[in-house]
């Protein structure tokens, strides 16, 4: 089986562990960062966590530290994602300082694109150093 076929990882292997609600009661940031619609209101932390894939769909082992370039994060209201969509965020697969896998992202960092009171869907794709991309993960819901 060729590499391209093996790379079509199902992101069920990279299961979204969920959107976890962080601490905070809707207060404002001391840094004055205004996230979302509504002036200077900060959005509370919403941590998206995942496990990096460790094998291809054909069960061939992979080393995520050596084989992955990053993770693309997609957010919309419909939960329908296509290969032509532009990711809202791209994070490195490996932290360049600690040399550890990246396994979370604070969705509040997208505050200038998101609003309070709307239910959003988030999905991810793993991207290999070769540029090949996995399938989209099953969408998870969140709101601020």
Q: Are strands 104-106 and 120-128 parallel, antiparallel or unpaired?
A: unpaired
Task: Tell me phi and psi for residue 67, to 5 degrees.
Answer: -100, -20
pLDDT bracket for residue 17 (50, 70, 90): very low
Kindly state the percentage of the chain with pLDDT values over 70.
71
List the domain range (segments joined by +) for residue 24: 3-142
The stretch 30-35 carries a mean pLDDT of 36
Reduced to 3 states, what is the DSSP secondary structure of residue 6?
helix
Report the number of distinct structural domains present in the chain: 1
Tell me whether residue 3 is exposed, middle or buried, using C-beta atoms within 10 angstroms of its C-beta: 0 to 12, 13 to 18, 19 or more: exposed
Q: In angstroms, how far is the first alpha carbon of the chain from the final one?
A: 44
For 113-131, the pLDDT digits (tens) are 999 999 999 999 999 888 8
Instruction: Give me the pLDDT at residue 53, please.
Output: 87
Q: Give mean pLDDT, residues 75-101.
A: 96
pTM beyond 0.85: the answer is: no
Task: Give me the CATH number covering residue 99.
Answer: 2.60.40.10
**Residue-level pLDDT at 33:** 38
pLDDT digits (tens, 9 = 90+) for 39-75: 445 899 999 999 998 887 778 888 999 999 999 999 9
* pLDDT given at position 15: 40
């Amino acid at each position: 089986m060729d590499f391209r076929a093996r790379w079509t990882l199902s992101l069920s292997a990279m299961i979204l562990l969920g959107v976890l609600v962080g601490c905070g009661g809707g207060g404002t940031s001391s840094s004055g960062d205004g996230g979302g619609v509504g002036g200077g209101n900060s959005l509370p932390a919403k941590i998206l966590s995942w496990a990096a894939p460790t094998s291809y769909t054909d069960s061939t082992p992979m080393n995520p530290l050596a084989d992955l370039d990053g993770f693309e994060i997609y957010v919309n209201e419909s939960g329908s994602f296509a290969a032509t969509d532009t990711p809202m965020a791209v994070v490195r697969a490996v932290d360049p300082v600690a040399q550890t896998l990246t396994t979370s992202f604070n969705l509040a960092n997208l505050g200038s694109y998101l609003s309070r009171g709307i239910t959003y869907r988030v999905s991810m794709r793993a991207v290999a150093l070769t540029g090949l991309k996995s399938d989209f993960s099953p969408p998870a819901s969140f709101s601020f």
